[in-house]
Amino acid sequence: MKRALVTSGAIDVVTEFAVHDRGGHGATASFIGRVRGDDGVSELMLEHHPAMTAAALDALATQAQARWALDCVSVIHRIGAMQRGEVIVLVLASSAHRDAALAGASFLIDRLKTDVPLWKRETLVDGNQRWVEPRANDEARAAGWD
């Protein structure tokens, strides 16, 4: 099973995990990214590309399933405005095997950071806004999966 989508509503982590739990897979690995509250950010806005973003998430999920024995993959990214502590992204990879689940989940989040058209804009508590810059090691981590 493959589930890849962008959503402007809150990501329901429990419901998404339940899909994998029902499958009875031996192993599920996950990654959850949240809006951090420790750096003076009051709101995060995620901009996407209407014609590309969902397709890019789907392509990533397809790549992961082709490379590892993954019975179920979910890649869900929120767009629009969100607050501290809210979930930005959820990645789930299930397999009969631990190695495949762990590698699949890491691959999905590492590649999402470089391959999927999404842009973060932070609003600080003083009202200023700034576009987030890529982290220096994002490209290196993503290239590690080539």
Partner 1 sequence: MLSMNISYFAWVRERMGKGSETVTVPTGIATVRDLIGWLATRDAAGAAAFAEPERIRVALGATMANLDDTLGNGDDISLFPPVTGG
**97 part of the interface to partner 1, by CB under 8 A:** no
Q: Which helix (H) or strand (E) holds 16?
A: helix 13-22
The answer to whether 87 touches 9, Cβ cutoff 8 Å, is no
Q: Provide the minimum distance between the beta carbon of 63 and a second copy in the complex, in angstroms, as a whole number.
A: 18
Judged by CB under 8 A, which of 4, 16, 30, 104 binds a second copy?
Answer: 30
**76 part of the interface to a second copy, by CB under 8 A:** no
Q: Is 27 helix (H, G, I), strand (E, B) or coil?
A: strand
Judged by CB under 8 A, which of 14, 51, 66, 136 binds a second copy?
Answer: 14
| Interface map 81-120 toward a second copy (x if CB under 8 A) | ---xx----------x-xx-xx--xx--x-----------
